[in-house]
Amino acid sequence: MYEAAGVDRSRVLVKLAGTWEGIQAARVLEKEGITCNITLIFGFIQAVAAAQAGARLISPFPGRIKDWAAANGGSPAYEPKDDPGVVEVSRMYGYFKKHGHEKTICMPASWRPSRSTPADKVAEHAIDEIVALAGVDRMTIPPPLLTQLAETEAPLPRLLEPQAAAAGCSEAAVCGGELGESDFRLALNADVCATTKMAEGINAFIGETVKLEAALKAKLELIDPQTAQPAAAAAAAIGGLPVKDAKYSTTESATEAAVGGASIGGFPVKIRAGPEASPEDGAGEAADAADAWARQQEERKAAEAAQQEFRFGWKDTSSPLGRDAKGYGGKYRER
């Protein structure tokens, strides 16, 4: 698709979750010249599998690892070098450098203050993890933290360096460099932090995808594909004229206005209402369209809830597969 539009595949980066399936998809895509970012990395075994598959980069989340540790018996505050997220990312980085995975970029994201909690709002602690991982291949840093780094006068030494990290890594190549599915799943299940946080992340991504699909669908349904003009049905009228029956005009004198009130899907509709439109035309069509839209939304919500329960056990019931709804090692709340 991109190549048909004149975009070379070398410029495409596909983001995939750090599941076994996602990592194996990356293995195939990388061989076809399509680079991949394995995200939702919370455990060492995910990083190893991604590197062995030849993924272009991984995105471990040190801040969320610290969150999980603090919520599960760990301390709410650490010295930066002892921060569980910093320790885990440093381990990944050292393993990559020792075992020849230089082609896989370690690019952490998602930051928390090591020496305090976000609720404490200690400004100088906000960049603790970033400073502690200085020297890692890449970082994803939000603008406010970039500004804070630019304004600080504190020293910023490089703490991660390839040769030193490789020398400091004492771990042998996992499974001789060929990690299989059973070993991956066994190790991942043993890592409760990785299992729990990855499931939460996937659920969140799905939730946002559903919102995006609904927004796009609402937008598209307001466009007539034949005329590229706003579609006939809407839940309000302009100047007393049902939107369905407004006559479209391309003249500069036509007035452009947004539909007010309960527009379909929450999105305003802009039309050009010509002088030849009649207030009596199509009375009641807008209300009918609104009712149809409401029914459609209820059906979509029911289907979404059923999908969530089936795939991820969001509800506290047994899944159709016979597993406990909390079988992923974490407790999920209904979103």
For 30, the 3-state DSSP assignment is helix
Contact in structure between 235 and 290 (CB atoms under 8 Å):
yes
Whether residues 120 and 242 fall in one domain: no
For 115, counting Cβ atoms within 10 Å of its Cβ (0-12 exposed, 13-18 middle, 19+ buried), the class is: middle
The residues that bridge with 105 in the sheet, in sequence order, are 57
CA dist., res. 31 & res. 109, Å (int) = 26
Domain assignment present for residue 334? The answer is no
Residues spanned by the domain of 63: 3-190
Residue range 191-208, pLDDT digits in tens:
999 999 999 999 999 999
pLDDT of residue 315: 45
Domain assignment present for residue 202? The answer is no
pLDDT of residue 277: 40
- Number of structural domains the chain divides into: 2
Whether residues 155 and 250 fall in one domain: no
Give catalytic status of residue 244 as yes or no. no
Whether residues 86 and 127 fall in one domain: yes
Whether residues 134 and 167 fall in one domain: yes
CA dist., res. 283 & res. 261, Å (int) = 17
Distances in whole angstroms, Cα of residue 115 to Cα of each of 25, 83, 146, 214: 38, 9, 19, 41
CA dist., res. 148 & res. 286, Å (int) = 52
Residue range 61-93, pLDDT digits in tens:
999 999 999 999 999 999 999 999 999 999 999
Whether residues 73 and 110 fall in one domain: yes
CA dist., res. 156 & res. 132, Å (int) = 9
Nearest 5 degrees, angle CA 13-CA 18-CA 22?
65
CA dist., res. 172 & res. 251, Å (int) = 74
Whether residues 19 and 73 fall in one domain: yes
Domain assignment present for residue 205? The answer is no
Whether residues 178 and 226 fall in one domain: no
Whether residues 176 and 307 fall in one domain: no
pLDDT of residue 134: 98
Residue range 278-294, pLDDT digits in tens:
444 343 444 555 566 66
Domain assignment present for residue 325? The answer is no
CA dist., res. 161 & res. 165, Å (int) = 6
pLDDT of residue 298: 73
Angle between helices 44-52 and 20-31 (to 10 degrees): 20
Terminal Cα-to-Cα distance of the chain (whole angstroms): 34
Of the candidates 109, 312, 292, 297, the residue with the CA atom closest to the CA atom of residue 207: 312
CA dist., res. 39 & res. 77, Å (int) = 25
Whether residues 16 and 163 fall in one domain: yes
Whether residues 216 and 141 fall in one domain: no
For 152, the 3-state DSSP assignment is coil
Whether residues 166 and 273 fall in one domain: no
Domain assignment present for residue 110? The answer is yes
Residue bearing tokens 């910023």: 156
Whether residues 247 and 285 fall in one domain: yes
Burial 274-312 (b: 16+ CB within 10 A, else e): eeebeeeebeebbeebbeebeeeeeeeeeebeeebbeeb
List, for the chain, all residue ranges whose pLDDT scores fall below the cut of 70. Answer: 222-297, 303-335
Domain assignment present for residue 199? The answer is no
In terms of DSSP H, where are the helices of the chain?
20-31, 44-52, 62-71, 84-98, 128-132, 143-151, 162-168, 181-190, 192-221, 285-312
pLDDT of residue 204: 94
CA dist., res. 277 & res. 232, Å (int) = 13
pLDDT of residue 240: 42
For the chain, state the CA radius of gyration.
26
Q: Which residues contact 286 (CB under 8 A, 6 or more apart)?
A: 233, 234, 235, 236, 237, 242, 243, 244
